């Protein structure tokens, strides 16, 4: 809706990434960056940047239906593309990727793991999500944080692969191998509980609620 006041035909003609940008959660941000990077100044209507009202049940249903969660991933993917084009010339501080009360990469990790253990079933996250989380590491100017993100992705991906392989083995093993099947089921259950524990830890808030200067600080 933020693009309604712009000439869509002109945008499509002059931005080769338009069809990709509009699939993301914040296409207007990407288009503003693309067209105005070399401008000495830009005026943005303030309400566009204001937080939305508290989310309603209808909002949550619409977000699920439109798969907005995955469109957040796509936003990072296209932001990385702008960085590679040098339209975003510098890397970002880690706090640029603050999402509510925790880091955006933590949110992405949560969704990737959850969708592989049966929690996200309506809109499962494709494997491309792992690579997109690594894009965040490439976009951050803190090498320590970037390294932690990469390690977390590699470990989480390996853990999910182990879970999925074990689950498939349990589902395909013959009932004649009762003892082995029961052992694998126990192992799968234990692994599932460990992954739930990891999800709870990932989801633990580390920031005060707020944005910009309003309550925007790390917890002690």
What is the per-residue pLDDT for 30?
A: 82
What is the per-residue pLDDT for 8?
A: 62
Rounded distance, CA 144 to CA 70, Å?
Answer: 27
> Which helix (H) or strand (E) element contains residue 103?
strand 102-103
Its pTM stands at: 0.78
H-state helical runs in 15-142: 18-21, 27-36, 46-49, 57-65, 68-84, 104-114, 128-139
What is the CB-side half-sphere exposure of residue 112 using CA atoms within 13 A?
28
Give CB contacts under 8 A, 24+ apart, made by 187-194: 188/163, 191/159, 191/162, 191/163, 191/166, 192/117, 192/163
* Residue at token pair 């439109």: 66
From 61, 166, 157, 57, select the one nearest 112 (Cα to Cα).
157
What is the per-residue pLDDT for 155?
A: 96
- Is 101 in contact with 51 (CB distance < 8 Å)? no
Rounded distance, CA 182 to CA 170, Å?
Answer: 9
Query: φ and ψ at 103, to 5 degrees?
Result: -80, 145
Could you report the average pLDDT of every consecutive run of 10 residues in the chain (220 residues)? Answer: 53 74 78 74 56 68 82 91 86 90 94 91 88 97 97 97 94 88 94 95 83 44
Both tokens of 19, joined, read: 């069809």
What is the per-residue pLDDT for 161?
A: 96
- Is 104 in contact with 98 (CB distance < 8 Å)? yes
């Amino acid at each position: 809706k933020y693009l309604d006041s712009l000439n869509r035909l002109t945008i499509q003609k002059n931005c080769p990434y338009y069809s990709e940008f509009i699939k993301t959660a914040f296409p207007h941000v990407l288009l503003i960056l693309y067209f105005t990077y070399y401008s000495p100044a830009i005026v943005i209507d303030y309400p566009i940047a204001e937080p939305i009202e508290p989310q309603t049940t209808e909002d949550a249903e619409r977000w699920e239906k439109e798969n907005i969660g995955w469109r957040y991933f796509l936003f990072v993917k296209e932001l990385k593309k702008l960085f590679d084009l040098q339209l975003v010339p510098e890397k970002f501080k880690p706090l640029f990727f603050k999402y509510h009360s925790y880091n955006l990469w933590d949110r992405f990790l949560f969704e990737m793991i959850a969708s592989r253990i049966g929690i996200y079933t309506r809109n499962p996250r494709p494997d491309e999500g792992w690579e997109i989380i690594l894009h965040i590491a490439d976009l951050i100017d803190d090498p320590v944080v970037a390294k932690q993100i990469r390690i977390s992705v590699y470990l989480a991906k390996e853990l999910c692969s182990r879970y999925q392989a074990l689950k498939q083995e349990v589902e395909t093993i013959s009932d004649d191998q009762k003892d082995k099947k029961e052992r694998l089921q126990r192992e799968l259950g234990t692994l599932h509980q460990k992954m739930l524990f990891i999800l709870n830890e990932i989801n633990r808030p580390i920031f005060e609620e707020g944005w910009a200067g309003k309550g925007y600080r790390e917890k002690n």
